[in-house]
């Protein structure tokens, strides 16, 4: 959002205990809102108003006092609850529930075609049950605009379903292209490492810390919004698309991808809308699950459990837990956190992406966890075609020695796929008529 931030009041209801509004406040600010007031309530959900009706009237008074033009509710509201709350507010004040707010953020950050399609898909899936509600009520009550849900259009529900099908088809095509690119990179000798974790855990900062000078963009032809260094601002959802950079390793060619951050309490339909973004995680050789070690232990535990549920659903690569932001806590706190998380993260790597502390230890761990490299020795005839193969091997493997004479003898280390291709190229030289 640009210009003067829109003034808003944030409200949240919980069934029991004390409502935590830190995350929703950060989300509101990430969307460009100025949070003027926060209201909470502890009670069971009211079917008509979500909050108690009296609490809604109190919220309306706070909205007036704050001169707000939006009310952000950190819960999922049904269409009738949205209408009923809106009726209690001054005219023109918008009611935005948690998931509509998240969709606003996604829409603001979506610059690539893939991200824009995923946002559109999520918005349509959000709208579909509301369109179905309009259809159901319109059949029961012939008044146009019944319950403030808008005038009934019998074709709208059908149109939404058709648009969802169209977007899914286009996203499948994009993912096939992305997968082809990933396979090409593997065949070229690259190991693929993905950064996963919750928003603001420090993934983008870690990407910058691991990266070499050479950058390789995941969508280099359609990523005008992302420069060669991923942003690392202290705000949620800075990264919506994926950014891939070549990492700084001596003996391996490694590409590290920073992906969209997880966020708590997302409904299945919203996670499903962005599953193609997570394919960079699911199809990696190694996943680094980045966690903010300065957060309370129970919060860290809950986030790791949720992340594992998401990752293990389709992921087969090893997962290494990275406890980031150790510069914010002392050694005793780190020991307590590691002990408390030992069952979930038995051997985490503790780092500070901001200061660079223990980054070398993380690089060593990445090297150990990635698929083993194979050593190979090739003997090839000295021909012009051989020089082309030698150049290819230099580009795709770590070459130890090359001896030139009547024959070319190369010793190198590479991924199994590269070793296999190099053998095939050497065999082709022999079969073309050269004598080894």
6-15: pLDDT as tens digits: 999 999 999 9
| pLDDT tens-digit readout, 410-426 | 999 888 888 888 999 99
Q: What stretch of H or E contains 357?
A: none
pLDDT (mean) for 277-305: 85
Residue 191 has pLDDT above 80, yes or no: yes
Q: Is 125 within 8 Å of 275 (Cβ atoms)?
A: no
Mean pLDDT, rounded, for 174-202: 78
- The structure's pTM equals 0.64
User: Which residues of the chain are in CATH 3.30.1370 domains?
Assistant: 374-431
Task: Determine how β-strand 33-42 pairs with β-strand 6-14.
Answer: parallel
Sign of CA dihedral 161, 167, 170, 171: negative
Q: What is the pLDDT of residue 145?
A: 45
Maximum CA extent, the chain: 92
- State yes or no: 3 annotated in a binding site: no
**Residue-level pLDDT at 337:** 94
* 352 labeled binding residue: yes
What's the mean pLDDT in 149-161?
A: 69
Q: What is the dihedral of CA 76, 78, 84, 85, to 10 degrees?
A: 10
Considering the chain, tell me which residue range(s) the CATH 3.40.50.11060 domain(s) occupy.
6-106
Least confident range of 28-32, 38-42, 113-117: 113-117
Span 215-224, average pLDDT: 38
pLDDT band at 174 (very low <50, low <70, confident <90, very high): confident
Which pLDDT tens digit goes with each residue over 351-382? Answer: 999 999 999 999 999 988 988 888 999 999 88
33 is in an annotated binding site: no
In the chain, ranges of CATH 3.40.50.300 domains: 188-369
pLDDT at 110 over 80: no
Residue 156 has pLDDT above 70, yes or no: yes
Res 261 pLDDT > 80: no
Q: Is 200 annotated as a binding residue?
A: yes
pLDDT at 278 over 90: no
Look at 174-178, 283-287, 381-385 and tell me which has the smallest mean pLDDT: 174-178
Annotated ligand binding at 161? The verdict is: no
Q: Judge whether 286 and 252 are in contact, CB under 8 Å.
A: no
pLDDT at residue number 139: 58
Confidence of residue 148 (pLDDT cuts 50, 70, 90): very low
* pLDDT value of residue 255: 86
The mean pLDDT value for 393-421 works out to: 88
Percent of the chain with pLDDT over 90: 37
pLDDT tens digits, 297-332: 998 998 888 888 777 666 678 899 999 999 999 999
Q: Is 199 marked as a binding-site residue?
A: yes
**CB-based contacts of 148-153 (< 8 A; 24+ apart in sequence):** 148/83, 148/86, 148/87, 149/79, 149/80, 149/83
Does 204 have pLDDT greater than 50?
yes
Task: Write down the CATH number for the domain with range 6-106.
Answer: 3.40.50.11060
Distance CA 21, CA 13 (A): 10
Q: How far is CA 270 from the centre of its chain?
A: 13
* pLDDT band (50, 70, 90) for residue 243: confident
| pLDDT the model gives residue 271 | 64
| Residue 261 annotated as binding site | yes
Is pLDDT of 409 > 90? Answer: yes
Q: Using an 8 Å Cβ cutoff, are 240 and 178 in contact?
A: no
CATH number of 374-431: 3.30.1370
Residue 123 is predicted with a pLDDT of 85
**114 labelled ligand-binding:** no
pLDDT at residue number 224 = 30
Q: 332 and 304 in contact (C-beta within 8 Å)?
A: no
Is 219 annotated as contributing to ligand binding? no
Q: What is the CATH number of domain 188-369?
A: 3.40.50.300
pLDDT of residue 417: 81
Confidence of residue 340 (pLDDT cuts 50, 70, 90): very high
324 marked as binding residue: yes
Q: Annotated binding residue at 258? A: yes
Residue 276 has pLDDT above 90, yes or no: no
Distances (CA, A) of 189 to 26, 119, 371, 373: 41, 33, 11, 10
Tens of pLDDT, residue by residue over 55-102, are: 999 999 999 999 999 999 999 898 889 889 999 999 999 999 988 898
Higher pLDDT, 236 or 372: 372
Which SS3 state, helix, strand or coil, does residue 95 take? Answer: strand
What 8-state DSSP symbol labels residue 46?
Answer: B
- Is 273 assigned to a binding site? no
């Amino acid at each position: 959002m640009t210009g003067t931030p829109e003034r808003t009041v944030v409200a949240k209801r919980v069934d029991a205990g004390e409502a935590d509004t830190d995350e929703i406040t950060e989300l509101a600010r990430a969307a460009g809102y100025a949070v003027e007031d926060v209201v909470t309530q502890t009670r069971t959900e009211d079917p008509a108003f979500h909050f108690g009706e009296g609490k809604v009237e109190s919220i309306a008074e706070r909205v007036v006092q704050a001169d707000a033009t939006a009310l952000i509710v950190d819960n999922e509201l049904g269409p009738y609850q949205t209408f009923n709350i809106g009726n209690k507010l001054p005219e023109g004040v918008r009611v935005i529930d948690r998931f509509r707010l998240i969709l606003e953020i996604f829409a603001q950050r979506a610059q690539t075609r893939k991200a824009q399609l995923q946002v559109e898909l999520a918005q349509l899936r959000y709208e579909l049950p509301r369109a179905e509600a309009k259809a159901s009520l319109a059949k029961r009550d012939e008044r146009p605009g019944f319950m403030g849900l808008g005038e009934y259009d019998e074709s709208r529900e059908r149109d939404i379903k058709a648009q969802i099908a169209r977007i899914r088809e286009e996203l499948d095509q994009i993912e096939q292209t992305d997968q082809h690119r990933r396979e090409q990179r593997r065949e070229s000798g690259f190991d693929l490492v993905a950064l996963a974790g919750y928003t603001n855990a420090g993934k983008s900062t870690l990407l910058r810390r691991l990266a070499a000078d050479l950058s390789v963009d995941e969508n280099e032809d359609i990523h005008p919004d992302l420069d060669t260094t991923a942003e690392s601002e202290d705000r949620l959802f800075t990264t919506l698309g994926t950014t891939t950079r070549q990492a700084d390793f001596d003996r391996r060619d490694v590409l590290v991808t920073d992906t969209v951050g997880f966020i708590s309490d997302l409904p299945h339909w919203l996670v499903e809308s962005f599953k193609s973004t997570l394919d960079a995680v699911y199809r990696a050789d190694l996943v680094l699950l980045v966690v903010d070690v300065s957060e309370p232990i129970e919060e860290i535990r809950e986030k790791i459990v949720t992340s594992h549920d998401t990752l293990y659903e389709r992921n087969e690569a090893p997962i290494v837990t990275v406890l980031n932001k150790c510069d914010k806590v002392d050694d005793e706190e780190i020991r307590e956190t590691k002990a408390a998380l030992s069952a979930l993260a038995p051997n985490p790597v503790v780092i500070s992406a901001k200061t660079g502390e223990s980054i070398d230890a993380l690089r060593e761990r990445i090297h150990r966890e990635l698929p083993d490299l194979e050593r190979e020795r090739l003997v090839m005839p000295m021909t012009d075609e051989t020089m082309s193969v030698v150049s290819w091997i230099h580009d795709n493997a770590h070459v130890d020695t090359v001896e030139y004479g009547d024959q070319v003898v190369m010793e190198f280390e590479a991924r199994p796929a590269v070793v296999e291709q190099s053998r095939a190229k050497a065999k082709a030289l022999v079969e073309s008529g050269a004598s080894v």
